[in-house]
Amino acid sequence: MRTPEVRTRFLDYFAERGHTVVPSAPLPTPDPTLLFVNAGMVPFKPYLTGTAEPPWPRATSVQKCIRTLDIEEVGKTTRHGSFFQMNGNFSFGDYFKEEAIAHAWELSTKSIADGGYGLDPDRIWVTVHHSDGDARGLWRRIAGLPDERIVARGDEDNFWSMGVPGPCGPCSELYYDRGPALGREGGPEVDEDRYMEFWNLVFMQYERGEGPGKSGYPILGELPRRNIDTGMGLERMATLLQGVDNLYEIDETRPILDRAAELAGVRYGADHQADVRLRVVADHVRTALMLLTDGTAPGNEGRGYVLRRILRRAVRSMRQLGYEGLALPELLPVARDCMASSYPEVAEAYVRSAERADAEEDAFRSTLRQGTTVLDTAVATVKGEGGRSLPGAQAFLLHDTYGFPIDLTLEMAAEQGIEVDREGFTALMTAQRERARADARARKGAAPLDTAALRAVLDEHGPTDWRAWETLTTDSTVLAVLGPNGPVKAARADAVVTVILDRTPFYAESGGQESDAGRLTGASVEADVLDVQRPLPGLVAHQIRITAGDLAAGDVLRAAVDPDWRLGARQAHSGTHVLHAALREILGPSALQSGSYNRPGYLRLDFPWRGALSPLVRGDIEEAANRALRRDLPVGVEWMTLAQAKQGGALALFDETYGAKVRVVEIGGEWSRELCGGTHVERASQIGVVSLTAESSVGAGMRRLEAVVGLEGFDYLARERDLVTQITEQVPGPRAELPDRIAALLARLKASDKENARLRREASLSHAAELASAAADVSGTLLATTTINAPATEARNLAESVRNALPSNRPGVAAVAAQVEGKGILAVVVNARARELGLSAAELVKSALGGRGGGTGEAAQGGGVGAEELDRVLGALRAAVGGVG
């Protein structure tokens, strides 16, 4: 049975039993505790925890998931995959254990002809929590399972929670015996390769308290509403039904593996190490494609880094298999064909996905060449000194300077039998991040957020009543005042604190839009709003600076957004949508926004593209954007289902988990239609103007446009006009001829510079002969020295000319001291006879400069001294030459 059919049967079965079919959420998730959806229940978390009312009593989904904590195990075992799909059925206070167990047993064992999976009931084992006699009894009654195939386990295996205070409960897992060829007899406690887990049923009925790990925390009582959360591994069920050994060999991954083997000229199954690498390639290429499809772009932080790591591990595994060509253009199309039948968006977004992946492979090949050389040299040094560990500073240098990720350094060092000082590397990385965070906080003047205290406020008071789309002012009550170490009773003037209000008109930073600025005022307090964030889903946190009075929980305030700030923010966010639509109009649909940022008057937009845009293309994009403003296109907001939004061509660009309804912002109807939660103008003309200010590279295959809008846009154009006026005064003539006239001036300057350089070289050669003839005999070595006022390059050239003019049959050293703007530089070269005598240019420079400088034995230079010290430096050089001679 092919994997898409396994998927369809699951959804059809539960739809027939009253479950609403919910589409998979995108892999990126706004949950602050996660980078990606890592379990089927994640999109339903608000309904399971009770923070939001579920729109349906029961639901079913096949959710895309990513787990990378054990990425190093991918390919080595049959159970680890970085991308997987979780079939799930959920009940929100509707049915409980009996129906959940009955559904799982019926679907698993019902014949294929009747819409089931046709598993042999005599080969199914289950586990239950040791305290859950109800589940044991239900398995006996519903499935007729004997006691020996119902295994009791403890909290570590069969009691579920999210790891924090909240819902929890026992679970029951289903395993399938794949036969004695795959391991020992005795059930899942004996061998989980032979007995493969394929379904987990969570009976969510208790509330847990604070406590570490998976056990030892207190159970506070029963939940007001009992829920069901189940997860069937789609790949695992496909493995069972297709009769293959592991998830890398099912129909959605095996074609990628086979193509990789074909490219590398190896046979799967012939060599264990090659098999591991082929499985890594198959898993990672599929994972990367799904991440790219959902809008993740390779980067150095967070989600982008996970994708970058996965892509690079796939590329490197192909190189280790002996394939030196470009791998991703060969493998990604295979992955697309495997996944498109279940996820049509894979094919729709493929051009953009492939461009990003290809650019990343190009960049990584260059990084790999440079970084491998540096790493190999460092490893050789460690081994040469009898060491076994690469210093953390060296690993940090590879990461920070050469873009060599630490995981790659760890892998490559281990392959050569060397460990890495991971603690030293981590300390340097932590220090770098803390500096960056401190700088960011200093720029905003904001205090760090206390996550635990924020969660306590959310649990006690529920979500913030957010009114940013409706109004600029609200009458609000202070629910909590938080400092760096948690709640404070009162905050006084000049304090910077985090404030939670019961309702707020302030826009929290999201979707690329900067947070609002404004004021909080009350009977005894005034405060400036510095920053507004959503640190937890549903909770809005305001970081403020108190300018007068005292502030405490319970105070009633007037919260007011700065109207000018909000107008500028609306212009910038709508301007971003306009620029994005103009970009796609000129460059085509593959120029899809991959990131953006906007604040009042300014916006930037990143998009995948190879090569810089010409001035003509930039002009076309700017003109297309401003045509939309001149046409005064209407801006509309509409709520609809995600399916309706996609059908209408709306672009989902950001890391969102979508609910039953999504917000679609249109500018000129289908000309610009995007899912967006930001604030916008009513008509395009209110943006004023879109003026492009910069276009640059922000990574391999990624470009960035920057623009100003509104008053800032007009100010920018005015400054440009003034600048042209000033240049016209300096270069008289019609303005239209300015580019040609300036180009002519630059050409003349270039010709003059070239002629001056020629004259200097001729003078240098003439001077070199004089210096060589005047060389002093220092202990048998000819030493020619001089001091010039010139750059370091001219000093080096002159020294080489003097060296060449010295007699070749005698040891010779030429040294030129140069002074530039009060700084001294020393350049030294030696001839072959001097090298035979033991003279080294690098050692002479270091001796003369007190250890500074560098180069080779033949030529070296250094600085770090004042021009007034050059006579002393030349004297020290003379002494060093004499000492060797």
Q: Which residues contribute to the annotated binding site?
A: 573, 577, 676, 680
Q: 817: Cβ–Cβ under 8 A, 6 or more apart, which residues?
A: 785, 786, 787, 788, 795, 824, 825, 826, 827, 870, 873, 874
Q: Helix, strand or coil for residue 91?
A: strand
Residue 318 CA to chain centroid, in angstroms?
23
Q: List the structure tokens of 536.
A: 């937890």
Note whether 706 and 602 are within 8 A (CB).
Answer: yes
d(Cα 828, Cα 811) in Å, to the nearest integer?
14
Instruction: In whole angstroms, give the CA distance from residue 355 to residue 810.
Output: 61
Strand 83-92 vs strand 58-66: parallel, antiparallel, or unpaired?
antiparallel
Angstrom distance (rounded) from CA 659 to CA 54: 10
Q: How far apart are CA 819 and CA 788, in angstroms?
A: 6
Which has the closest alpha carbon to 705: 557, 541, 582?
582
Backbone angles phi, psi at 682, to 5 degrees: -85, -30
Structure token digits, residue 745: 């001036």
CB 700 within 8 A of CB 710: no
Q: Is 344 exposed, middle or buried (0-12, 13-18, 19+ CB in 10 A)?
A: exposed
Rounded CA separation 535/31 (Å): 9
Is 459 in contact with 451 (CB distance < 8 Å)? no
Question: CA torsion, points 849, 855, 858, 859, in degrees to nearest 10?
Answer: -70
- CA distances to 312, 649, 671 from 363, rounded to whole Å, are 10, 33, 34
Number of H helices, E strands in the chain: 25, 33
**Alpha-carbon distance 390 to 274, whole Å?**
27
For CA atoms 873, 876, 880, 885, give the dihedral sign: positive
**Cα 442 from Cα 439, distance rounded (Å):** 5
Q: How far apart are the first and last CA of the chain?
A: 85
Nearest to 274 by CA among 257, 251, 249: 257
Name the binding residues for Zn(2+): 573, 577, 676, 680
What distance separates the 2 farthest-apart alpha carbons in the chain? 109
Sequence-distant (6+) residues with CB within 8 A of 203 are 96, 97, 100, 132, 135, 169, 170, 171, 172, 226, 228
Quickly list H helices, 270-349.
272-293, 302-320, 328-339, 345-348
Output the six-digit token pair for 285.
Answer: 């290429």
State how far the Cα of 22 lies from the Cα of 660, in Å rounded to an integer: 9
Q: How far is CA 732 from the centre of its chain?
A: 51
CB under 8 Å to 504, separation ≥6 — which residues? Answer: 464, 465, 466, 467, 468, 474, 476, 532, 540, 542, 559
Burial class (CB in 10 A: 0-12, 13-18, 19+), 711: middle
Strand ranges of the sheet holding 662-667, from the earlier edge strand across to the other edge: 635-640, 662-667, 672-675
Neighbouring C-beta atoms of residue 751, cutoff 10 Å: 10
